[in-house]
A and B are shown apart, each in its own frame.
Chain A
Amino acid sequence: MPIHDQGYRRYGGERAAHGRAWAVIAFAGIRTMLRKRSFLGLLLVAWAPFFVRAVQIYAAANVPQASFLAPTPEMFRDFLAQQSSFVFFIAVYAGSGLIASDRRANALQIYLSKPLSRVEYVFGKLAVLLAFLLLVTWVPAIVLLIVQIVFTGDVSFFVDNIFLFPAITVSAFVQTIAISATMLALSSLSKSSRYVGILYAGVIFFSQAMYGVLYQVTRDSSWAWVSFNANISQVNAFIFRMRPTYETPWPVSLAVLTIVVALSAVILERRVRGVEVVA
């Protein structure tokens, strides 16, 4: 045909299979956050403890007088615990607007009018927060393990503590999934990311304060199940085979975290809708 049609042509290429749309949402969300310089700064600061620990491991391996700094399994558990303050700020920064901003912009209707299920939408958003939280918990902890092998030049510590790799993985995932699910559920409750951030801080610190009062009244730390952070600490202690900080049994803490995640799922199911029915 000598003269070609310049008009609209249908897309004739390949299409991805159903069920992969969550990855598009996840990558878009990650790219958006990484464009913010202040967020990159926060991620950098969150890796500062890693560098401190790396120096500690190096010193312990190469300076005889510093052998008391040698890493122990406890060090890895403590490292994850210390990262919790960064986890809090990253969750607030990256997570509070995940669904709230979409609700403010009335974008949920647009998203859900595409061949994208609500589950994919939620998983995509969850993946954004999980990615960043794991980047400051699981990734540096695993890299520390590798650094330990590299700096000492032998794998004896790793072999003697072979449980550390799955322990770090499970512990990091328990923490990040509980936090991500909670934050995402809270984000779906409002159109203001600022309000969501404060709600999340309220959940964390109010539960801590309530436990504080109960402990002062009863002098019994088995009330720790009331505190979100204490439950994570209890489960982590069990995973790392350490002595727990509180008297709450770890299955109770795990059950509480599971209930929180389940409640978050229920909230998300009710709130992530294409249309809002106004009575």
Chain B
Amino acid sequence: MVTSNRPVPTIMTTAVRIFELSLGQMLWSRRSVFLAFIAAAPVALAGLIRFATFAEPRLLPQINGERLDGTALFGLMIWLLYVRFIVPVLGMFYGTSLVADEVDDKTITYLFVRPIPRGAVLIGKYLAYFVCTALLILPSVVLVYFLLVPIGGGSIGRSFPLLAVDLGVLAAGIGSYGALFAWVGARLKRPLVVGLVFVFGWEPGVLLFPGYLKRATVAYYLQGLVPHTMPQEGGVNILFQVFQEVPPVPLSLAALAGVTLVGVWLAARATETREYVLEQ
């Protein structure tokens, strides 16, 4: 018989157990079809571009007299697809539902009547989200890299450090967006609306203008880590480029780490104190 004098396991021990329980469910759930599609679409697009430029090399546009090469294309995909869309959307998708899914499915009861800290449930699920998302997205990035970089004579070996940095940036993005939305999901009743406004309204809007407001975004700090310079043309874009402020790398790393740790801590705290009333 299990005695009651035992101390409660530590948060990390419990989190690991919850992680083991949740990872399989997340990876093999139907929702991962959505994740797989999101991961596959850029690969398909990259394949299409590779095929098209192979058939018609002049397809690639010129900017300021220079034709775009594969490395620039790869940077474009990283920025436009992965950093500005895929990573935030997946962070919102999974982050807001870490505990909410268990509440909707009414399985949260089984976890909350165990001798484990409630916050560990959230942390374990967050770890499962991170691993699940990274396992699907990062290989997709690698495939896109191998498809695009050789275009226009680019070297896979020479550009490899860029890939490594990009993978790190995306992992940092997955971690920080996930943590932020984990907190939003744990605190608010309607986290989806807030998430959508933040990702598709606040971040794109605020990043365009000078000032301090952009520091209240995750994309600003991710921008500081992205190694690619975006090709710019046109008066308006150049003007924006003048105003665009890119934070230094150490600040970006510190901010993203802060967002991740604080987000997860706040989310865990919210889970500890909140009452979950299940629908009858």
Chains A and B share a contact (CB less than 8 Å): yes
**Chain A residues within 8 Å of B, Cβ to Cβ:** 38, 85, 89, 92-93, 104, 190, 192, 194-195, 197-199, 201-202, 205-206, 209-210, 212-214, 216-219
Complex interface: chain B residues within 8 A of A206 (CB)? 38, 41, 85, 89
A210/B89 contact (C-beta < 8 A), A195-B97, A217-B68 known: no
Instruction: Name the contact of B200 in the complex, choosing from A93, A190, A205, A219 (C-beta under 8 A).
Output: A205
Check B80–A209 contact: CB distance below 8 A.
yes
Considering the chains assembled together, what is the distance between the CA atoms of A148 and B38 in angstroms?
A: 46
What is the chain A residue whose CB lies nearest that of B63? A219
What is the chain B residue whose CB lies nearest that of A89? B193
Known: A192-B97, A216-B76. 14 other contacts (CB 8 A): A89-B196, A190-B30, A194-B191, A201-B89, A202-B34, A202-B38, A206-B89, A209-B84, A209-B85, A212-B80, A213-B45, A213-B81, A217-B49, A217-B73
Check A202–B89 contact: CB distance below 8 A.
yes
Q: Is the interface of B mostly helix, strand, loop or mixed?
A: helix
Say if the beta carbon of B59 comes within 8 Å of chain A: yes
Considering the chains assembled together, what is the distance between the CA atoms of A209 and B45 in angstroms?
A: 12
Considering the chains assembled together, what is the distance between the CA atoms of A197 and B97 in angstroms?
A: 12
What is the total number of residues of chain B having a CB less than 8 Å from a CB of chain A?
A: 34
Instruction: Name the contact of B77 in the complex, choosing from A38, A194, A197, A213 (C-beta under 8 A).
Output: A213
User: What string of 1s and 0s marks CB contacts (under 8 Å) between B99-114 and chain A?
Assistant: 0110010000000000
Say if the beta carbon of B92 comes within 8 Å of chain A: yes
Which residues of chain B from 63 to 85 have any CB-CB distance to chain A below 8 Å in the complex? Answer: 68, 73, 76-77, 80-81, 84-85
User: A199 CB to closest chain B CB, in angstroms?
Assistant: 6
Check B45–A92 contact: CB distance below 8 A.
no
Q: Is the interface of A mostly helix, strand, loop or mixed?
A: helix
Complex interface: chain B residues within 8 A of A214 (CB)? 45
User: B50 CB to closest chain A CB, in angstroms?
Assistant: 11
Check A217–B60 contact: CB distance below 8 A.
yes
Instruction: Name the contact of A198 in the complex, choosing from B60, B85, B92, B190 (C-beta under 8 A).
Output: B92
Complex interface: chain A residues within 8 A of B77 (CB)? 213
Check B192–A198 contact: CB distance below 8 A.
yes
What is the chain B residue whose CB lies nearest that of A85? B201
Say if the beta carbon of B93 comes within 8 Å of chain A: yes
Instruction: Name the contact of A205 in the complex, choosing from B31, B89, B93 (C-beta under 8 A).
Output: B89
Check A194–B38 contact: CB distance below 8 A.
no
Q: How many A-B residue pairs have CB under 8 A?
A: 72
Check A217–B61 contact: CB distance below 8 A.
yes
What is the chain B residue whose CB lies nearest that of A195? B31
User: A131 CB to closest chain B CB, in angstroms?
Assistant: 20
Say if the beta carbon of B96 comes within 8 Å of chain A: yes
Considering the chains assembled together, what is the distance between the CA atoms of A89 and B76 in angstroms?
A: 29
Show 24 residue pairs from A and B whose CB-CB distance is below 8 angstroms, ordered by the A residue: A89-B196, A92-B193, A192-B101, A194-B96, A194-B104, A195-B34, A195-B97, A198-B93, A199-B34, A201-B196, A206-B85, A209-B81, A209-B84, A209-B85, A213-B45, A213-B80, A213-B81, A214-B45, A216-B61, A217-B60, A217-B61, A217-B73, A218-B59, A218-B61
Considering the chains assembled together, what is the distance between the CA atoms of A190 and B31 in angstroms?
A: 9
A194/B97 contact (C-beta < 8 A), A92-B193, A202-B34 known: yes
Complex interface: chain B residues within 8 A of A210 (CB)? 41, 45, 81
Check A93–B193 contact: CB distance below 8 A.
yes
Which residues of chain B from 195 to 242 have any CB-CB distance to chain A below 8 Å in the complex? Answer: 196, 200-201, 231
What is the chain A residue whose CB lies nearest that of B85? A209
Complex interface: chain B residues within 8 A of A194 (CB)? 96-97, 100, 104, 191-192
User: What string of 1s and 0s marks CB contacts (under 8 Å) between B231-268 and chain A?
Assistant: 10000000000000000000000000000000000000
User: What string of 1s and 0s marks CB contacts (under 8 Å) between B171-190 and chain A?
Assistant: 00000000000000000001
What is the chain A residue whose CB lies nearest that of B89? A202
Complex interface: chain B residues within 8 A of A218 (CB)? 59, 61
Complex interface: chain A residues within 8 A of B196 (CB)? 89, 92, 197, 201
What is the chain A residue whose CB lies nearest that of B94? A198
Considering the chains assembled together, what is the distance between the CA atoms of A168 and B271 in angstroms?
A: 48
User: A109 CB to closest chain B CB, in angstroms?
Assistant: 19
Check B61–A219 contact: CB distance below 8 A.
yes
Considering the chains assembled together, what is the distance between the CA atoms of A217 and B93 in angstroms?
A: 28
